[in-house]
Amino acid sequence: MNDKLTVIVPVYNVENYIEDCLKSIAGQDYAPMEVLLVDDGSTDGSAKICEEMALKDDRFCVIHKKNGGLSGARNTGISLEDGEFISFIDSDDALLQQPYIFMIDVSKRHNADIVLMKCVSSDGDYDNVKYNENSSEQEMRVQTFFSKLCKDELTAAWDKLYRATLFDNLRFDEKVLNEDFLLLASMTKDKNLRVVSTDYEGYFYRIRNGSISHSGFSKSIFDAVINAYEVCKTNVYDELKNDAVSHLFHRIFVFFIGMPKEYIKSENEDYVFAREKLREYKGKIFFSKNSFRNKVVLMMFYYFPASTKRIVSLFIK
């Protein structure tokens, strides 16, 4: 192994944003670095922009593949990397400052497997974004990291630097959305995982309509229930089982609140799955970390689903 960093960028129909992304990566001073631009079957000008960058900067390599989704594109990049570190960037986002120099230095000094950075979120112009230059760092117990994941904190794949060995036997699940949470939770099965949190603002997250994470009620909401249940089954430390179960209840609650009322009438498969998991764990509801209101609503959904859906739709948006 060496100090080589592989940056994996899944690309799909982002011609209006990808130049900011590529320029911010090209401006990184860390060496040695390779950038794998995985074109996931783009139908706009994204692939051409990537090819032009690869001609100008030999650190960039373009891989074209049939459209298969974000996870498949990331997995393609993982299968091609051959260095010590991996980082991911979504192609409508960009980097701020010099995060790779900073995070790799942190990783080496702490012998860390994962280094976290902060992101700056905005729906505005990348060129005018404001960020701080703080660079403090703190080691985080793996149990604390898992607990934060279950609170929907730190669940993105892109604001982190990873030791490549973490992916020796792990890949993103290509069958579900909300896949970042599932992958990161799987990493915490190793009680020796070393995580360092920093307040270095090195990532620009672009808020835009139409992205997977801002698409209203969608497949990702149900997939989050599947992933939460999977984590309850396959993880966890005894002292954190309540965190995992509380996360499952939260995801079921979000699903029930957001689902169309027709799901109940038609005995929709997604609805049936969520209700079955609620039945399986309902004895733990009032011992969970969820709010009292949500606990009551979940029990009401279990016993009186149609009536509860009508009632809560008047009060919970």
- Residues 34-44 pLDDT 10s: 999 999 999 99
CA dist 174 and 75 (Å) reads 9
- Distance, in Å, from the CA atom of 228 to the CA atom of 31, rounded to the nearest integer, reads 38
Tell me what pLDDT residue 272 has: 94
Phi first, then psi: what are they for 63, rounded to 5°?
Answer: -115, 125
**Per-domain boundaries in the chain:** 5-212, 216-315
The lowest-confidence range among 28-37, 229-238, 242-251 is 229-238
| DSSP line for 230-266 | HHHHH---GGGHHHHHHHHHHHHHHHHHHS-THHHHT
Fold that domain 5-212 belongs to in CATH:
Spore Coat Polysaccharide Biosynthesis Protein SpsA; Chain A (3.90.550)
Kindly give the residue spans of alpha helices, DSSP state H, lying in the chain.
Answer: 18-26, 46-56, 70-80, 99-110, 142-150, 179-187, 219-234, 241-258, 262-265, 269-281, 292-303, 305-315
pLDDT in tens, 110-166: 999 999 999 999 887 887 788 888 789 999 999 999 999 999 999 999 999 999 999
Higher pLDDT, 316 or 156: 156
The single-letter code of the amino acid at 159 is D
Model-wide pTM > 0.75: yes
Answer whether residue 266 shows pLDDT above 90: no
> Is 216 a residue whose pLDDT tops 90?
no
What is the residue-averaged pLDDT of the chain?
Answer: 92
Work out the average pLDDT over 228-248: 87
